[in-house]
A and B are shown apart, each in its own frame.
Chain A
Amino acid sequence: AQTVTQSQPEMSVQEAETVTLSCTYDTSESDYYLFWYKQPPSRQMILVIRQEAYKQQNATENRFSVNFQKAAKSFSLKISDSQLGDAAMYFCAYRRAYSGTYKYIFGTGTRLKVLA
């Protein structure tokens, strides 16, 4: 069975600084997708970034980038130039590729606080 682990329940970062959130996962599949979702106080889940396992290049979306280490099964999120609006719960998630069910497996989340 696939699992996703986030070992940091809470992180803090100063505004404009950089922070890295950690995630590890376990799977026997070779093709899959990894994600970081943001859940602000509104509770709306927002997709931040997606990484396809077959791609070696790390995904980036503006201030958000990932460090994908497939062999180590590690998938960290780096937030650069942190903004107050980045404060939220961040969930790492996994989905098998070629799966018609589109079943996501989420980690336990990391609460990010941004200090002014």
Chain B
Amino acid sequence: GAVVSQHPSRVICKSGTSVKIECRSLDFQATTMFWYRQFPKQSLMLMATSNEGSKATYEQGVEKDKFLINHASLTLSTLTVTSAHPEDSSFYICSARVVEVLNTEAFFGQGTRLTVV
């Protein structure tokens, strides 16, 4: 099946710094990628939809200046958490859809655990 890879799987950063998370579709082109946030023991909440070559669409309540999303190529989307604070600590998951194949679902990356200290 299609593979979506996230890097890093874990990251610890100091409060006030920025951290970048990469999401790659390894064996397919993904014109659309999605970024989710999962709090401990809670569900996945969609943060934004990332379209290649255009601005991301953010869900209500998500600060676009805080969570910068770039989708510069058909296989790579990045999420940058700017000026991170401890409350940004969470599990971030990306997913990507295989647009060349109709009626398929998105594939998920393995997630990135961000800890801000």
Contacts and interface: CB of A to CB of B under 8 A. Distances in A.
Interface of A: 33, 35, 42-47, 50, 91, 95, 100-109
B58 interface: no
Given A44-B108, A45-B108, A50-B105, A102 B34 contact: yes
Contacts of B97: 102
Contact of B111 (A44, A102, A105): A44
A106 B34 CA distance: 14
Given A45-B95, A109-B41, A109-B42, 10 more contacts: A35-B105, A42-B110, A43-B93, A44-B109, A44-B110, A44-B111, A45-B93, A95-B105, A103-B49, A108-B42
Contacts, number: 49
A38 to B, nearest CB: 11
Contacts of A45: 44, 93, 95, 108
Mostly, the B contact residues are strand
Interface of B: 32, 34, 41-46, 49, 57, 91, 93, 95, 97, 105-106, 108-111, 113
The 5 closest A-B pairs by CB, nearest first: A45-B108, A106-B43, A43-B111, A108-B43, A44-B110
A114 B41 CA distance: 18
A107 B41 CA distance: 12
10 contacts: A44-B110, A95-B105, A101-B32, A101-B49, A102-B34, A103-B46, A108-B42, A108-B43, A109-B41, A109-B42
B106 A102 contact: yes
Contacts of B110: 42-44
Contacts of B91: 43
Most chain A CB inside 10 Å of its own CB: which residue of B42, B44, B91: B44
A102 B108 contact: no
Nearest to A107: B43
A106 B106 contact: no
A61 B116 CA distance: 40
Nearest to A45: B108
Given A43-B91, A45-B93, A104 B111 contact: no
A47 B43 contact: no
Contacts of A109: 41-43
